[in-house]
Every structure is written in C-alpha cells, then in structure tokens.
Amino acid sequence: MAIRGVLVDIAGVLTDQGKAIHGAVSAIEELRRAGIPMRLVTNTTSRPRQRLLDELSQLGFEFDETELFTPAGAAVAYLSRHELSPHLLIHPDLDEDFAGCVEGRNPAVVVGDAGEFFTYDRLNAAFREICAGAPLLALAMNRTFRDRNGELSIDAGAFVHALEYASGSKPVVLGKPALQFFELAARSMGCVLSDCAMIGDDAEADIAGALKAGITAAHLVRTGKYRQGDETRFKPVPTAVVADVIEAVERILG
C-alpha cells in the first residue's frame, strides 16, 4: 500500500541538542517534493507551540501551525470538551498554550515536563486535587528524553506514575502513544492511520505506539534518544531500524 501521509517526531529525529540533525532539512524537502503531506507529532511539553515553530524555522525547517500536533493542544481540546479548568503541573514556559482555557470550572490536573518545577509542594497540591475528584491528564508518559547536554534525563512519565500510585487514579494520556493523538494528526491530512508511516526515535511511544494505533509502517531512527537494543524492548517491533530520517524518507518514497 502506498503511503499517503507521514508523521514525524521532532526531537531526536529532526533536531538534537538545539541543532538540526544532518540531512534532516533536505529529507523534509524531499517529502514535500514528492507531494506527501506530513505532520509533526511531538511529546515535547516544556516549550509552547509557537516557540517550537520558531526554533524549527531558525534551523531551516518551514512548517506552518496546522502541521504541528502537541499534547498541550490535545489537552486544551479535552478541557473544553469536558468543561474543565486546568490545574497545571507543567513548565511555566508552556503556560501560554493554556491561556485561553476557561477558569472556574471543575479542575483537571494537567501534567507535563515541569523539569526543575517538579517540586514536592506542586506535586502534593496536584495529588490533593486528584484525591478531591479531579481527573489526571498526562500530556505524555515518556520515560526519558535526551537533554541539551546529550545525556538522558527523566521525563514526565515517572511523575505521572507517582501521582497515579499515590492517588489510585488512572491517567488519561493525551500525547503519544494515545490512539486519538495519532488519529487526529492523520485525519488532518485526509488520511486514516493505515495510510500513514511514522518516523521516531522512541521505540515505545513513537514506534510501538504508532503500530498499535494502526499505522502501516514505523521507522525507528538511530539518532536522538535511541540506544542499542531499543528495537527489541517493546512490541510491536519497528518496521525498520534506520540510520536517520534521510534513510526513513528514502524507504517511504521507495
């Protein structure tokens, strides 16, 4: 089956430590020349969407806002649909993505990558809201991310699990690997998931998550957070393990 749309992660696939990965800009341009639509599907929750677009533009990538899907955007839609107000446990830089949310409704705890702002007091305040009946919304459940110093760091998933363990409340996951997140991105291209391919560096959230959701092919790149053996740690296993996004695009177009 021909691929009609491509979902692409950002960190570790297009960029790494604040720089464009070698050949990534040309790989994206090759997809555009082939007329295949694409969507950026990122679990980055420490920077607002406009900053992500600006950073990509500065590195030579040109994407418009309709091509970027973030967990914060999914959370705002969820809060509106369920008439909830956010109790935010996120990095302050992400606050602007929630600026339009209605206040004064029943709260929902929204957890993202708060970094150094994951203090005991903030975690405990979120825990008490959950105990009082607030749903727990996880922007992402990633275990690790590759920090700007090149080392792996603890991601938001560990803190979501801590709140789940303490409160006994199951989180609603809004970013990858949530089925609805992949579906929304595919639908925006006029595709169903079986029309699409995924390119990512996270064998769990990007690759296994996409394949479980129904994506036809998922290519794991050996850049970013990838570590030797990742391709065997989660099921389903990748359709292909490739050197980088350039090889992934070549396979998709081939």
For the chain, the distance separating the N- and C-terminal CA atoms, rounded to the nearest angstrom, is 12
pLDDT digits (tens, 9 = 90+) for 190-214: 999 999 999 999 999 999 999 999 9
Peptide linkage before 177 cis (omega within 30 of 0): yes
**1 pLDDT higher than 70:** no
Mean pLDDT of 230-244: 97
Q: What is the dihedral of CA 61, 67, 70, 76, to 10 degrees?
A: 140
Identify the pLDDT of residue 150: 82
For 212, the enclosing helix (H) or strand (E) is helix 209-213
Domains and CATH numbers, the chain: 5-43+177-253 (3.40.50.1000), 73-173 (3.40.50.1000)
Which is it for strands 217-221 and 240-242: parallel, antiparallel or unpaired?
Answer: parallel
Structure tokens at 229: 């053996």
| No. of helices (H) and no. of strands (E), the chain | 8, 14
Query: What is the per-residue pLDDT across 118-162, written as a single tens digit (0 to 9) for each?
Result: 999 999 999 999 999 999 999 999 999 888 888 899 999 999 999
pLDDT recorded at residue 147: 84
pTM, to two decimals: 0.93
Taking only the tens place, the pLDDT of each residue in 113-122 is: 999 999 999 9
CB 111 within 8 A of CB 43: no
Residue 176 is which amino acid? Answer: K
Tens digits of residue pLDDT in 30-86: 999 999 999 999 999 999 999 999 999 999 999 999 999 999 999 999 999 999 999
